[in-house]
Structure 1
Amino acid sequence: MSLVLTTASVPEGEKLSYWRDALGRALVPMAVTARADAPFRGRVATGRLGGLRVSTVEADAQRASRTAAHIAHARADYVAVGVQTSGTATLVQDGRRALVEEGDLVVYDTTRPYSLDYPGRFSTRVVHMPRRAVGLPEEELRRVAGTTIPGRDGFGALLVSFLTTLPVSVPPGSPVVATRLAASVVDLFATLVHERGAPAAAPEPSPQHHLVQRVRGHIDEHLTDPALSPQSVAAAHHISVRYLHRLFEEEGVTVGRLIQRRRLEECARELGRQNAPVPTVSAVAQRWGFTNPAHFSRVFRAAYGLSPREWRGSRDALLLAG
């Protein structure tokens, strides 16, 4: 079932506030400002397709920004791929500035700050893919985030055609169709990323970059330790907690939230495995460092929209567990 939100019947003085809330519900929370003094018009239709969120946005000129504050309170992490169906936009993420023209594909990562500036009325089709389900290495996602991909030939043209005809949702009772369509979108996107290949030359990573990578590796190695925390991570690397937090400011996620997210990802993957021994939910939670079953169930539902037991039998779990 799709959800349609429009400013058509909203009082003039409340349209922009309503629109900001509408985009937060349909896409992800962002700050939104209008670029003209004229009455604002906007419409968004959104729905679930398997594990994906598919939305069509039509609106007047605006600037939408996702900040570190929005990310800190996020309940889920997505990679977004959009098709500019009319109008133009400018995307800024990770220091990159990309002009998006009609027919182009644009890619951005909701776990790091970005802005989208639309100078005139526009329409776009956007698909939010759970970051955990995309299955691409971090370096490959970072390579395409904040970039425009021409949609005129190759896999770009194929993905544009697929996304523009993709239904916002499928009728109730068609979960198999929805899951297959969702898997096709993820596969096409991954193929497109691989097709683009590695950049000709990459800048030399900074010492801070190497330290961030070591911290991430340390977190992955110690996820099962209930005592893993920003304090223990900082101590292991002989730095202060304050400096550790400063290192991760550009990552768009706090160290504490990264630890929780990685633990949840491992729990979700294990709970979604098919044809394997079936441990209890509490056993899986404890294995990955969650000591409080009630807390685990609460944060799992906040991240995945389902309880751990509901997730175990869901179709979405198949995308992650493979």
Structure 2
Amino acid sequence: MRRVFSTAGTHPRTRFKLWQEVVAERIGPIEQRRRADGPFAGEIEIGAVGPLTFSRITQSALTTTITADTVRRRPDGLIRVNFRLAGASTFQQHGREAVQGTGDLTVIDHHPGVLDARTDGQTLVMALPRERLEGLLGPARLFAALTMPAGSATTRLVTTFFGDLLRVNRQLSPEAAERMATIGVDLIVAALADRMAREVPHSLHGSVVVQRAKAHVEANLGDQTLDPPRLAAAMGVSLRRL
């Protein structure tokens, strides 16, 4: 990871203004407000593994809002996975509230609807292409602001994999890094699918499977080998249930 900005060494009175300018340049014109008195502190580091980009953000307590104007001015088509390294966050999006503690993962849709993102501490943010996730899981509203708890087996697999991947990234060839990135995205999709299955009430779970199946079919219309058994396997349900 490479540091691109730090408030260390800057005057306390100008730190937060500088922070807002850097965030606007790198992320977009989001709205941020401080939630604590005293000098503000923040640091941004960036890195990449194959096509995946990462930002490690350390900051004092803030409230962040994404508005419709934000998305219109900078539509990047990305969905972000937040690895909470320290501190806590609360996100509200698509009518759902996610409370994220250290070790938890949360997916955030860069779309109007993050009404109040209250964060402090340190977060590793990974940007993923929207088409990849929605092609396998359905519309982002089905999984945005879902928290995958640190204690779950799937979350531990994802965090361990990406922690190791970032540590050895420089030792990998470009081809190997791209393959490992693809494996990591597949792990996130699997963890999200497991979390979605536990989130949705049983009476509605069938409709969610249908939405995911439709999205998978639409994303793979050119695959001549796609048949009902393969579709059922991709959805993680039996052929009879599908």
The SS at the match of 2:14 is: helix
Please report how far the alpha carbon of residue 191 of structure 1 lies from its aligned counterpart in structure 2 after TM superposition. Answer: 0.9
Matches of 1:87 and 1:17, distance apart in 2: 23
Evaluate the alpha carbon distance shift between residue 155 and residue 180 of structure 1 in structure 2; reply closer, same or farther with a 3 A threshold: same
- How high is the TM-score relative to the length of structure 1? 0.56
CA distance in 1, matches of 2:39, 2:167: 28
Could you tell which deviates more after superposition, 71-80 or 36-45? 71-80
Look up the match of 2:122: 123
Give the partner amino acid of 2:166.
P
SS at match of 1:127: strand
Please give the alpha-carbon distance, in whole angstroms, between the structure 1 residues aligned to 2:123 and 2:82: 7
Match of 1:144 in 2: 143
Specify the alignment match of 1:108 in structure 2: 108
Report the counterpart of residue 193 of structure 1 in structure 2. 192
Does the 8 Å CA contact 1:48/1:169 hold for their aligned counterparts? Answer: no
Contact 2:82 2:125 in 1 (8 A): yes
Distance 1:99 1:173 in 2: 35
SS at 1:191 equivalent: helix
Q: Which residue number corresponds to residue 89 of structure 2?
A: 89
Relative to structure 1, is the Cα distance of residues 29 and 162 closer, same or farther in structure 2, using a 3 angstrom cutoff? Answer: farther
2:127 aligned partner, one-letter code:
H
The 3-state SS of whatever aligns with 2:40 is coil
Q: Which amino acid aligns with 2:82?
A: G
2:148–2:195: 8 Å Cα contact kept in structure 1? Answer: no
Measure how far apart 1:95 and its partner are.
1.6
Checking the alignment, whether the CA contact within 8 Å between 1:78 and 1:129 is kept in structure 2 is yes
Alignment of 1:216-255 (within 5 A): none
Distance 2:88 2:168 in 1: 26
SS state at 2:19 partner: helix
Match of 1:34 in 2: 34
1:63-102 matched pairs, under 5 angstroms: 63-102=63-102
Q: 1:16, CA displacement in angstroms?
A: 1.2
- 1:5 is displaced (CA, Å) by 1.2
What SS class does the counterpart of residue 11 from structure 1 fall into? Answer: coil
Q: Quote how far apart the aligned CAs of 1:202 are.
A: 4.0
Evaluate the alpha carbon distance shift between residue 28 and residue 62 of structure 1 in structure 2; reply closer, same or farther with a 3 A threshold: same
* 1:177 aligned residue: 176
Q: Distance in 1 between matches of 2:171 and 2:70?
A: 32
Q: In the TM superposition, what is the alpha-carbon distance from 1:122 to its structure 2 partner?
A: 0.7
What amino acid is aligned across from residue 157 of structure 1 in structure 2? R
* 1:175 counterpart letter in structure 2: P
Alpha-carbon spacing, 1:46–1:71, altered in 2? closer, same or farther (3 Å): same
Q: Distance in 2 between matches of 1:112 and 1:165?
A: 33
Contact 1:7 1:41 in 2 (8 A): yes
Task: Report if the CA contact (8 A) 1:34-1:62 is conserved.
Answer: yes
Name which one, 1 or 2, has greater alpha-carbon Rg. Answer: 1
In 2: Cα distance, 1:24 partner to 1:136 partner: 31
Equivalent position of 1:156 in the other structure: 155
In the TM superposition, residue 38 of structure 1 has moved relative to its aligned partner by 0.6
Amino acid at match of 2:132: A
Q: Deviations over 1:80-106 (max 9, x none)?
A: 111211111111111211111111111
User: Gapped runs of 5+ residues in structure 2?
Assistant: 208-242
Shift of the alpha carbon at 1:54?
0.7
Report the Cα distance in structure 2 between the residues aligned to 1:58 and 1:197, rounded to whole angstroms.
Answer: 29
Aligned residues: 204
**Distance in 2 between the 1:71 and 1:27 partners?**
11
TM-score computed with the length of structure 2 as normaliser = 0.73
Instruction: Measure, in 1, the Cα distance between the counterparts of 2:170 and 2:125.
Output: 20
Q: For residues 228-275 of structure 1, what are the alpha-carbon distances to aligned partners after superposition, in whole Å with 9 as ceiling and x for unaligned?
A: xxxxxxxxxxxxxxxxxxxxxxxxxxxxxxxxxxxxxxxxxxxxxxxx
Q: Distance in 2 between matches of 1:38 and 1:116?
A: 20
Aligned-pair Cα RMSD in Å: 2.9
Give the secondary-structure state (helix, strand or coil) at the position aligned to 2:108: strand
Q: Which amino acid aligns with 2:118?
A: D
Q: Which 10-residue stretch deviates more, 169-178 or 191-200?
A: 169-178
Query: As a proportion of its length, which structure holds more strand?
Result: 2
CA distance in 1, matches of 2:172, 2:87: 36
Matched with 1:49 is: 49
Indicate if the aligned counterparts of 1:50 and 1:178 stay in contact, CA closer than 8 A.
yes
